[in-house]
Amino acid sequence: MPWSVPSAGKGVSMVLLHISVIFPVFYQFYVVYWYLFIYLFM
């Protein structure tokens, strides 16, 4: 089935796109909470 390969590639690219969008936001919140933790408990 020749159409299964492009659809699979599209699915992978969508997953990578979601990771590249979600990961910086998650990392930013992680840094913010870490600084709040240090600020409150130091």
Q: What are the tens digits of pLDDT across the range 2-42? A: 556 667 678 888 888 888 888 888 888 999 999 999 999 88
pTM score of the predicted model = 0.40
- Residue 2 has φ and ψ, to the nearest 5°, of -70, -20
pLDDT number for residue 11 = 81
CA distance 28 to 31: 5
- Model pLDDT, residue 14: 85
Domain boundaries, the chain: 1-42
Residue 1 clears pLDDT 60, i.e. is over it: no
